[in-house]
């Protein structure tokens, strides 16, 4: 729930705070949302926080806002896999590929001063320095992606039981699961389907990921149809 696209008072975390304040009284919410996270990284981060924080600072409720990244990464990189571009950048850093890191740093610096560079040359530089493998539709593993997510949910729930924390898993609403779409949403949807690393296969994968019955056994809250019929 990083919510970098909106103002603070409209973030999902702040909305939850208002709901809890009205329902059960004054509450304190911390948002640990991070761009690019998915359930495998949530599990690691959650357990790390529980180990490190004092007992009186442990949460009463932990809300996990999931769905898109687990489905997207499962489609593009395989079940439980992180973004390959980030993996390649970390590899370059660890292996001291200094020329590659230096060129990337220069490009990112130029992007701070030139929007044209950021939207054109910077993206080309990144693709050349950290080339991603071509999508392989035959290697797509929908069942594996769903199993990975549900396993992570089970482990997180078990962790919550040990530390007496109530867990709530929310499957986020998406454009690819909404009907009907507004003109703006339709334009975004068409661009997603036209993207070479997503396409119609990607939207189908995400829809099927959300349809899996495995989620009901994990007591996840499916919000994917929350925006249906809204114009």
Q: Give residue 18's Cα distance to chain centre.
A: 24
74 lies in the same domain as 154: yes
User: Quick check: is 7 in a domain?
Assistant: no
User: Quick check: is 19 in a domain?
Assistant: no
pTM score above 0.85: no
Distance CA 216, CA 225 (A): 15
SS3 12: helix
Q: In the chain, how many domains are there?
A: 2
62 lies in the same domain as 147: yes
> What pLDDT is recorded for position 214?
55
46 lies in the same domain as 127: no
Q: How many helices (H) and strands (E) does the chain have?
A: 11, 3
> What pLDDT is recorded for position 162?
93
Strand pairing class (166-171; 61-66): parallel
- Which residue segment(s) compose the domain that 103 sits in? 84-136
205 lies in the same domain as 150: yes
Q: Is the pLDDT of residue 94 over 70?
A: yes
Higher confidence at residue 220 or residue 23? Answer: 23
User: Quick check: is 48 in a domain?
Assistant: yes
Report the mean per-residue pLDDT for the chain.
Answer: 86
| Whole-Å CA distances, 84 to 80, 93, 130, 145 | 12, 14, 9, 16
pLDDT band at 33 (very low <50, low <70, confident <90, very high): confident
Q: Is the pLDDT of residue 8 over 90?
A: no
User: Quick check: is 1 in a domain?
Assistant: no
pLDDT band at 224 (very low <50, low <70, confident <90, very high): low
150 lies in the same domain as 75: yes
Structural tokens at position 207: 């829809």
User: Quick check: is 4 in a domain?
Assistant: no
145 lies in the same domain as 73: yes
- Tens digits of per-residue pLDDT, 37-58? 899 999 999 999 999 999 999 9
- Tens digits of per-residue pLDDT, 120-145? 999 899 999 999 877 666 668 999 99
Distance CA 102, CA 84 (A): 19
Average pLDDT over residues 22-27: 88
96 lies in the same domain as 209: no
Residue position matching structure tokens 């661009």: 191
Distance CA 174, CA 98 (A): 39
Angle, in degrees to the nearest 10, between helices 142-163 and 199-211: 40
> What pLDDT is recorded for position 109?
95
100 lies in the same domain as 65: no
96 lies in the same domain as 203: no
């Amino acid at each position: 729930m990083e919510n970098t696209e909106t103002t603070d008072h409209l973030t999902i975390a702040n909305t939850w705070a208002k709901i809890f304040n009205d329902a059960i009284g004054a509450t304190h919410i911390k948002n640990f949302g991070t761009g690019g996270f998915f359930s495998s990284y949530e599990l690691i981060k959650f357990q790390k926080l529980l180990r490190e924080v004092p007992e009186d600072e442990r949460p009463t409720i932990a809300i996990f806002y999931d769905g898109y990244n687990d489905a997207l990464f499962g489609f593009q990189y395989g079940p439980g896999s992180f973004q390959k571009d980030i993996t390649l950048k970390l590899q370059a850093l660890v292996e001291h590929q200094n020329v590659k890191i230096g060129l990337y740093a220069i490009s990112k610096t130029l992007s701070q001063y030139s929007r044209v560079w950021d939207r054109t040359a910077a993206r080309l530089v990144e693709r050349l320095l950290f080339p991603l493998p071509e999508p392989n539709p035959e290697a797509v593993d929908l069942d594996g992606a769903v199993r990975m997510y549900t396993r992570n949910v089970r482990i997180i729930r078990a962790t919550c039981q040990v530390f007496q924390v109530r867990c709530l898993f929310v499957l986020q609403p998406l454009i690819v699961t909404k009907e009907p779409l507004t003109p703006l949403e339709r334009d975004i949807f068409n661009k997603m389907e036209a993207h070479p690393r997503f396409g119609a296969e990607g939207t189908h994968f995400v829809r099927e990921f959300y349809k899996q019955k495995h989620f009901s056994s994990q007591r996840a809250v499916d919000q994917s149809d929350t925006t249906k019929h809204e114009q």
